Structure 1
Amino acid sequence: MMQAEFTLTGAQVLSDGALDDGVLGISGGLLSDRATGAQVALPGCTVLPGIVDIHGDGFERHMAPRRGAMTDLTVGLAGVEAELAANGITTAMLAQFWSWEGGMRGPDFALRVLEALERYQPIGTDMRIQLRLETHLLDDYDAMEQAVARFGVGQVVFNDHLPHEALARGKRPPRLTGQALKSGRNPEAHLAMLQDLHARRNDVPAAVVALAGRLAARGVMLGSHDDPDADTRATWRARGVPLSEFPETHAAAQAARDGGDGIVLGAPNVMRGGSHAGKVSARDMVAAGLCDALASDYFYPAPLRAAQILGEAIGLPAAWALVSDGPARLLGLSDRGRIAPGLRADLVVLDPAGRVCLTVAGGRVTHASGIGAAALIAARI
């Protein structure tokens, strides 16, 4: 949809930390406190800042619904954008692996995704790539850096999913055969690769420090994944990695808070009432003030629902900040995450039942249903 001038009326608007009746204009892709263009009446609805999803891999199901089925990944990206918009997400960091795991998590597929996103012309949703680098993939550091430079990747997160414990004991890691076949490797060749990567573990710390320094010099936001304890978080901070994604313990999150690091937790964890892997409860962490942002992780409907759940305990304005202003701040996106004149026109409108009925990204309507669709039709937009 082309950018249009219109004004949302009759709804409550979340601005400056409070819900209040207001008139919200949209012109040139930006927000205004003045009425402009057609009047879109939304009585009983709630207008909120668009959701900024700082980490989500739910896009994978659209990119490869069956092995070999998707030759043009831009087709998958259209499906991704539709799902994001239907869930009120206006900015999305697509968390793409650069991993020894191969398949959809391998470097070759990562390059295909980056190339497709470069070609894709979105309706309005701002979709960006977060590369998730497996730290022991030392021989791929140069290629990954080149991809960061070529495609303007703004965020890299360090992961280590090697089954070190089993490898250290000389055992076959669990699920080895299935993982190998999924990556297109012979199981024995896959095991040999894992053993080789594990054997080079002493080379990893210095290589990561050097890489982090080079990436930071490019202005890339750096994060660590699944910090298990305070010492690990301190180590990553010393390496120049200030973002802690999904810390596994209260101690790790507290260390991040004490060190001034950003803390990202999973919105599905909030929905479930606890971690599916038995880790720390995101609800408890939010209550303790140990969360700056909630991410969709693997389920795009989760940020909206998590904010609604938390809103019952801490109020909707504070809860919504965890899916809008909080992640925008961590990503350095000062032009969004809030409703204020001059900011990017990223909005989600909820109907009286709390369902997304209208999503606006960059001043363009990316989703409309129910009350929202009827209001646009009545306004002849």
Structure 2
Amino acid sequence: MSTAPLSLRLTGATVLRDGALQERSVAVAEGRITKGPLPAVDLSGYLVLPGIVDLHGDAFERQLAPRPTAELPLEMALRATDREAAANGVTTAWLAQGWSWEGGRRGPDQAELLLRALEEHGPRAASDLRVQLRCETHTVDTFDRLLDTVRRHRIDYVVFNNHLSEAAALAESDRDALAHWARSAGGTPDAHLRAVARAQAQARDVPRYLCRLAEAFDALGVRYGSHDDPDGETRETFSMIGAKICEFPQRRAAAALARAVGDPVLMGAPNVVRGGSQAGNVAARDLIRAGLCDALVSDYHYPSLAAAAFRLVDEGLADLPRAWAMISERPAEIMGLADRGRIDYGRRADLTVIDPRNRAVEATIAGGRLAHLSGGAAARFLAAGGEALALAAE
């Protein structure tokens, strides 16, 4: 929305600061949380919360291909994803792009196209958009290409996942489901089966491949983890090679193992909102209730992030400061981002403004710039007049 950093003070709101809801103002200047007298915007009755940090989202796949055979330009998809994220309070987001034997929209070629498109879009982005690579374990022949891509595009987050056994099982039991999977990746069922066979042939080399990648990621400072761990043994194996982030464990045992060895656990916010996993895996709320979940991510639906935090409050599983920390402060800590996730002096000015009456995100400030403005909050900015009005309108 705005191209110039704001220089103003948000007054009258209830602000989440120092782990508590407080009645105080928040000053923003030069992209940071600051102090001092500045033009004021009265946000009495609103909540001002830290901007959301989303560690895993693949909603951009829907923007890229609204239907399996209807693909749109990457720049258009990124622009739509960027705006959707900002409209839901997200100020930092990792787009979860596949690096898979599947090829098509989840293959290395597509990953490199996305990374180049994002570099072009980045300067115009409303939010801080990054890419997480979802590396299928049976991609041994891409070792050099993967590391070159990680270096060139400064990738800071990779997760390992293994969906090969699922694909092989579908080939035997449910050809219709396999065909749907192939189409969603942008391929055909026959090509998908050939890709499965090629990947299966790499099985004996996978352990060494993962260890070599882990060593290289450590040297590059890349954070890495695993996705969809089916059991505690699998999580333990990944943890032992350094893949410390546990994303979407399918069973409680995997989350419990992660907690036992100090690995953070991420679950999908839609899982909380819907009351369970759409794939029949462990319910996020059960893990949260048991103290086995550290952070929530958008997965496939940005609006679920804020909604999940409020759902946890409504169900008595957390107060708002703790629930909101699961989508802001804790994800920032997991990724080592000391400049965001909390509202504090000198930190990046990432703010989410919410009307508590309907819990709608009405304003998002990302890096001190207006990324989204709507509803009653827009009227408040307009009513401020003067310098605040000029800056908000840019």
Q: CA deviation at 1:185?
A: 5.0
What is the aligned length? 378
CA–CA distance in structure 2, aligned partners of residues 69 and 208 of structure 1: 32
User: Does the C-alpha gap of structure 1 residues 183 and 53 become closer, same or farther in structure 2, counting only changes over 3 Å?
Assistant: closer
Q: What amino acid maps onto 1:358 in structure 2?
A: A
Tell me by how many angstroms 1:182 deviates: 5.3
In the alignment, what sits opposite 1:287?
A: 289
* Cα distance in 2 for residues equivalent to 1:288 and 1:180: 37
After superposition, the C-alpha distances for 1:14-42 in whole angstroms (9 at most, x for unaligned) are: 0111111001100110002x344320101
Q: How far 1:231 moved relative to its partner?
A: 1.2
Are 2:364 and 1:359 equivalent residues in the alignment?
yes
Q: Deviations over 1:71-127 (max 9, x none)?
A: 4x2232121111011100000010011112222112111111100111112344100
CA positional deviation for 1:187? 3.6
> What is the rounded CA distance, in whole Å, between the counterparts of 2:167 and 2:96 in structure 1?
26
Alignment of 1:1-381 (within 5 A): 1=2, 2-32=4-34, 34-65=35-66, 67=69, 69-71=71-73, 73-120=74-121, 121-163=123-165, 166=168, 171=172, 174=175, 175-180=177-182, 183=185, 185=187, 187-312=189-314, 313=316, 314-353=318-357, 354-379=359-384, 380=389, 381=392
Closer/same/farther in 2, CA of residues 136 and 286 from structure 1, 3 Å limit: same
Q: Distance in 1 between matches of 2:281 and 2:199?
A: 27
Distance 1:194 1:348, change over 3 A: same
Q: Separation in 1 of the partners of 2:125 and 2:213?
A: 35
Contact 2:276-2:283 within 8 A present in 1 as well? yes
Write the distance in 1 (CA, Å) between the matches of 2:183 and 2:302: 28
Shift of 1:183: 4.9
Q: Distance in 2 between matches of 1:340 and 1:315?
A: 20
Indicate conservation of the 8 Å contact 1:46/1:351, yes or no. yes
Distance in 2, Cα, partners of 1:91 & 1:183? 26
- Alpha-carbon spacing, 1:295–1:182, altered in 2? closer, same or farther (3 Å): closer
Contact (CA 8 Å) 1:311, 1:318: kept in 2 or not? no
For 2:61, give the aligned amino acid.
Answer: E
How far did 1:176 drift?
3.2
Q: Provide closer, same or farther for how the CA distance between residues 36 and 84 of structure 1 changes in structure 2, counting only shifts above 3 A.
A: farther
For the residue of structure 1 that corresponds to 2:341, the secondary structure is: coil
Query: Where in structure 1 are there 5+ consecutive unaligned residues?
Result: none
Q: Deviations over 1:244-269 (max 9, x none)?
A: 00111111111101101111011011
SS of the counterpart of 1:290? coil
- 2:124 partner SS: coil
* TM-score between both structures, scaled by the size of structure 1: 0.94
Give me the TM-score of the superposition, normalised by structure 2. Answer: 0.91
Residue type matched to 2:338 in 1? S
Note if contact 1:81-1:122 (Cα within 8 Å) is conserved in structure 2.
no
For 1:109 and 1:8, how far apart are their aligned partners in 2?
Answer: 42
Give the superposition deviation at 1:193: 2.6
Question: Where in structure 2 are there 5+ consecutive unaligned residues?
Answer: none
Out of 89-98 and 348-357, give the one that drifted further. Answer: 348-357
Distance in 2 separating the partners of 1:170 and 1:185: 15
SS at match of 2:381: helix
2:346 aligned counterpart, secondary structure: coil
Check whether the contact 2:16–2:50 (CA below 8 A) recurs between aligned residues: yes
CA 1:75–1:37: 2 relative to 1, 3 Å: farther
Deviations 1:317-371 (A, max 9, x none): 0100000001111111111001111110000011132111110000001001112
Letter in 2 for 1:349: V
Distance 2:338 2:136 in 1: 30
Residues 35-82 of structure 1, C-alpha deviations (whole Å, 9 max, x = no match)? 4432010110000000000100011122334656534x2232121111
Aligned partners of 1:42 and 1:371 also within 8 Å: no
Q: Is the 8 A contact 2:105 2:186 kept in 1?
A: no
2:167, 2:196 within 8 Å by CA — same for their partners in 1? Answer: no
- State the shift of 1:309 in Å: 0.5
CA distance in 2, matches of 1:189, 1:8: 56
SS at match of 1:163: helix
Is the CA contact 1:101–1:179 (under 8 Å) kept in the aligned structure 2? no
Cα RMSD (Å) of the superposition?
1.9
Taking a change above 3 Å as real, the CA distance of residues 344 and 189 of structure 1, as seen in their structure-2 partners, is closer
| 1:76 counterpart SS class | helix
